[in-house]
Amino acid sequence: MCGVAGAYQQPDGKVLVGTMVDRLEHRGPDAGGVVELVDPDTSVVLGHRRLSIIDLSTAADQPFAKDGLTLSYNGEIYNFLQIRRELEALGVRFATRSDTEVVLEAWRVWGTASLRRFRGMFAFAVHDARTGSLTLVRDPLGIKPLYVMPRGSGVVFASELKAILTVVGPELKVDPAAMVASTLYYWLPQEFNAVQGVHKLAPGSWRTYHRDGSVSEGRYWDTAEEAARAAAGPRADLREVLEASVQAHLVSDAPVASFLSGGLDSSIVTALAHRADAAIEAYTIAFRAQDQRLEAMPDDARYARMMASHLGIRLHEIEISPNVVDLLPRMVDILDEPIGDPAAINTLLMCDAAREAGVKVLLSGMGADELFGGYRKHLATLITARYRRLPRAVRTGVVAPAVRAMPVAVGQRGIRTVRWAQRFLTFAELPEEEAFRRSYTLYDRDELVDLLDPALTGDVDHVIDSHRAVYEDTTLTDQVDRMCLADTRMFMVGLNLTYTDRASMAASTEVRVPFVDPVVFAAAFSLPGSEKIRGRVQKAALKDAARAWLPDEVIDRPKASFGVPLRAWVTNDLRELVDDTLLRGELVGTGFLQREPLERLVADQRSGRRDESKQIWQLLCLEQWYRTVQAAGVGTA
């Protein structure tokens, strides 16, 4: 795992790339390099930071140059040995044992056709001295990031937005539509750019910049098409597919460990990793008792201990009790984009602990919920149809008023069922796409319009319309499949993979996600929606497969989220920060946030009438992000 940066057709390219590489040092503390390529007609500078995982020797350092091709590559190709054997059969000779050299030689032999051969996570830039062209590539499901800024007749790119802002921040402006999207979702969908002029290369795509200033591009993987193809094909053997994926993700010349929350997904990954490597260790998190009570959180650590005992592996427990006031600005800087999900803190602290113990690589169960219908929103959206069968007078005259009148907390103890019931009512009467969107976003349209500058109403509608466009861009006929596909295209890449990459890389560790894999993706969509959610049982097919590996008590336990005691933090730790930084902050001062509805939101949270902790955390993060990019010289649109 590494960081890449580069500049093409930039007169100040060497200075730009050198500064960006320094800013990315956390992504690769083992080695770094900047190469200015000799080309009379083209200015090309490539940079790299290396976290050495495969072939730990300096021979595999990057940028990696060989016979006219130069590569700066971030990621891992898990089937690189198989591809290497294919290339050797074609007469290719190798000088290293690295997957880096395999990527380079595969590109030389097959060009863009090589991309579907790679099983892994990657984002890379490759320069061809023969044509003078530079090609940028991103993996099929968007595990690894790549930010791109067209500049003059060329381009500047990097693994993280902050690297680009460091060198050209004053040339850029904040995109108000992105701030609106962040406020609605608490993260940023792929199609929105945090700052104008810098975009994320789309997953499953490549783009080539040519000497004459022209650009060519293409898609080698289309998520909607692949899902439809899998749904029309034969049913996969899920157990066999998962075993093979976890086995593939273990390839490493550095120590590998596993996240183990005690939930189904991480337990599957840990159990399968243990079958392949009996010495593997695991990391889990625990919370302060008072925070658990206020948040009404399940004791996940108990299940993690149970699973570790079942497997006979060593479990490292990390108590989450950070100084969130101090940690908030650090997390905002780490996350790069305006993301308001505190789960990133868990990832950062676990990765920090693993790195201190000498572990560079960790396995995660991320992606299973998106692919197999595991989120509460999936089941809740299905239940809305049943709820609407109740007489309207009962729904609107009895159920809704009673639920809304209930407090979400009494004293210092949260009432989780009330929070869920109040959340359910916000989308229970809506049609499918709208209900699904409302099930996991922070506001409905009118609430968001009321909270924001009235001039942003058009942006609000644009953000909502973009969700509809993505959700409806499919030929899948099953509602569960449609929700899962939308999540893989938006929620997974925009939030979960993004915060996992940034938080793990901030600790100079690599997190691998065996569920986020093209073969597993195809297997998931080869199953009908009724096998993902069977009655009220979610991830039913995954649970069926897991009974070969896990105890029933872990498989059948209630669903728990990879969360933090957010209500406790917002109510107690962050109270002064909310008053001083948010209510009197830049976003209120500029008019982006309207003071009165913001004050009502905070008052509702503090009174216990409603749970607005997620909204308040997101707005705090957005406020801090806005100040951070302003400090980098980024202007307002």
Asked, for residue 178, whether it belongs to a domain, the answer is no
Q: Which residues of 173-185 are buried (b: 16+ CB within 10 A; e: fewer)?
A: ebbbbbbbbbbbb
Asked, for residue 438, whether it belongs to a domain, the answer is yes
Kindly state whether residues 201 and 292 are assigned to the same domain: no
| pLDDT at residue number 302 | 87
DSSP 283: E
Average pLDDT over every residue of 441-451: 96
Q: Where are the beta strands (DSSP E) in 544-634?
A: none
- d(CA 417, CA 133) in angstroms, rounded, equals 57
| pLDDT at residue number 209 | 97
The one-letter code for the residue type at 304 is A
CATH code, 404: 3.40.50.620
Q: Residue 423: pLDDT above 70?
A: yes
Q: What are phi and psi of 392, to 5 degrees?
A: -60, -35
Q: What are phi and psi of 97, to 5 degrees?
A: -105, 20
Q: Residue 401: pLDDT above 90?
A: no
Kindly state whether residues 237 and 209 are assigned to the same domain: no
- 290 pLDDT band (50/70/90 cuts)? low
User: Which H helix or E strand runs over 307?
Assistant: helix 300-311
Kindly state whether residues 202 and 257 are assigned to the same domain: no
Kindly state whether residues 236 and 164 are assigned to the same domain: no
Average pLDDT over every residue of 267-292: 86
- 288 pLDDT band (50/70/90 cuts)? low
C-alpha closest to that of 52 among 28, 71, 72: 28
Kindly state whether residues 116 and 138 are assigned to the same domain: yes
Kindly state whether residues 452 and 331 are assigned to the same domain: yes
Average pLDDT over every residue of 143-162: 97
Kindly state whether residues 258 and 406 are assigned to the same domain: yes
What percent of the chain clears pLDDT 70, i.e. is strictly above it?
A: 96
| pLDDT at residue number 621 | 96
Q: What are phi and psi of 598, to 5 degrees?
A: -65, -45
Asked, for residue 188, whether it belongs to a domain, the answer is no
The CA-based diameter of the chain, rounded to the nearest angstrom, is: 77
Q: Which of 101-115, 391-405, 514-528 has the lowest mean pLDDT?
A: 391-405
Q: Reduced to 3 states, what is the DSSP secondary structure of residue 543?
A: helix
Helix crossing, 99-110 with 80-89: angle to 10°? 50
Average pLDDT over every residue of 473-481: 97
Residue that terminates a domain, selected from 537, 554, 571: 554
| pLDDT at residue number 281 | 95
* Catalytically annotated residues: 2
Average pLDDT score, the chain: 93
List residues bridging with 320 in a β-sheet: 287
Q: Residue 297: pLDDT above 60?
A: no
- 396 pLDDT band (50/70/90 cuts)? confident
- 413 pLDDT band (50/70/90 cuts)? low
Kindly state whether residues 212 and 310 are assigned to the same domain: no
Are 612 and 605 in contact by the 8 Å Cβ rule? The answer is yes
Helix crossing, 432-440 with 376-387: angle to 10°? 130
- 39 pLDDT band (50/70/90 cuts)? confident
| pLDDT at residue number 414 | 60
Read off the tokens for 190.
């792929």
Asked, for residue 22, whether it belongs to a domain, the answer is yes
pLDDT in tens, 555-572: 998 776 656 778 888 888
List residues bridging with 216 in a β-sheet: 208
Asked, for residue 142, whether it belongs to a domain, the answer is yes
| pLDDT at residue number 42 | 87
Based on the structure, what is the number of domains in the chain?
Answer: 2
| pLDDT at residue number 40 | 80
Which structural domain range is residue 7 located in? 2-171+196-221
Instruction: List CB contacts of 428: < 8 A, sequence separation 6 or more.
Output: 384, 387, 388, 395, 435
pLDDT in tens, 208-243: 999 999 999 999 999 999 999 999 999 999 999 999
To the question of whether residue 99 is assigned a binding role by annotation, the answer is yes
Residue that terminates a domain, selected from 554, 576, 608: 554
Residue that terminates a domain, selected from 535, 554, 573: 554
pLDDT in tens, 575-607: 999 999 999 999 999 999 999 999 999 998 888
Compute the C-alpha angle 258/262/266, nearest 5°. 40
Kindly state whether residues 208 and 261 are assigned to the same domain: no
| pLDDT at residue number 286 | 79
What percent of the chain clears pLDDT 90, i.e. is strictly above it?
A: 81
Asked, for residue 183, whether it belongs to a domain, the answer is no
Q: Where are the beta strands (DSSP E) in 139-281?
A: 147-151, 154-158, 173-174, 195-196, 199-200, 205-209, 215-219, 256-259
Q: Reduced to 3 states, what is the DSSP secondary structure of residue 286?
A: strand
Asked, for residue 497, whether it belongs to a domain, the answer is yes
Q: Residue 332: pLDDT above 90?
A: yes
CA distance readout (Å), 460 to 425, 436, 452, 455, 471: 22, 17, 9, 10, 17
Kindly state whether residues 386 and 264 are assigned to the same domain: yes
Kindly state whether residues 530 and 456 are assigned to the same domain: yes
Are 21 and 34 in contact by the 8 Å Cβ rule? The answer is yes
Kindly state whether residues 160 and 39 are assigned to the same domain: yes
Asked, for residue 597, whether it belongs to a domain, the answer is no
CA distance readout (Å), 78 to 75, 270, 519, 527: 10, 18, 13, 25
- Tell me which residue has tokens 């902790």: 613
CATH code, 80: 3.60.20.10
Read off the tokens for 443.
């506001």
- d(CA 88, CA 125) in angstroms, rounded, equals 23
